[in-house]
A and B are shown apart, each in its own frame.
Chain A
């Protein structure tokens, strides 16, 4: 199957700082990217959907100024957690699909964010 690479896999940051998570599609054009958040022993909750070259669409309750999404190329999307707080600590997962080829969505390995 297609490969989606997410980086970093783990990150620890101090409260008040910003953290950037990258999601790359390695062998296909990721026209659409999805960002999910997962709390321990819980399900995946969609945060936002982004189409290449367009602004992301955020789910209800997700602060767009807090979670900045950039999808400027067909192989890379980034999620920046700004002014991080301990409650932002979570497992963040991206997935990507090729809308033109109408593929399913492929998931990255996830990023464990810990804010201290």
Chain B
């Protein structure tokens, strides 16, 4: 089955700096890669996703890049703010609505 590795497990950045989280996946058949933000005691919220037919997608301060050949994708958050502090999960699946395999999560702390 699919295996998703996520790094780093924790990330501390100064407010205003950028944060980068990287994930690798094992199954070349995976074609949908969402990123979720999870705050304490709540369910995950989709923040951005990318499909395998594009290499990059951007939404305001958040961007995701995908390298299908290397089977890795990354989340970039620019101009970080304290409210960006949360746990971020990457995931992979075969199709947008199929079961997701999650990475281990990255705890991001943005220091004011």
Known: A43-B89, A43-B104, A104-B49. A49 touches B99 (CB 8 A): yes
Q: Which residues of B contact A103 (CB under 8 A)?
A: 96-97
- Name A107's contact: one of B45, B96, B103 (CB within 8 Å): B45
B-side binding surface: helix, strand, loop or mixed?
A: loop
How many whole Å from B5's CB to the nearest CB in chain A? 11
Q: Which residues of A contact B99 (CB under 8 A)?
A: 34, 46, 49
- A92 to B55: give the CA distance in the assembly, Å: 33
Known: A107-B44, A110-B41. A46 touches B97 (CB 8 A): no
- A41 to B58: give the CA distance in the assembly, Å: 28
Tell yes or no: A19 within 8 A of B by CB: no
Q: Which residues of A contact B103 (CB under 8 A)?
A: 43
- Name A93's contact: one of B44, B46, B97 (CB within 8 Å): B44
Chain B interface size band reads 20 to 34
Residue of A nearest to B36 (CB): A107
Chain A 40-62 interface mask (CB, 8 Å, partner B; 1/0): 01111110010000000000000
- A43 to B89: give the CA distance in the assembly, Å: 8
- A34 to B98: give the CA distance in the assembly, Å: 9
Are B41 and A93 in contact, CB atoms less than 8 angstroms apart?
Answer: no
A/B interface sample: 21 pairs, CB < 8 A: A1-B46, A6-B43, A41-B105, A43-B103, A44-B89, A44-B100, A44-B102, A46-B99, A46-B101, A49-B99, A97-B96, A98-B97, A102-B96, A102-B97, A103-B96, A105-B96, A105-B97, A107-B44, A109-B42, A109-B43, A110-B43
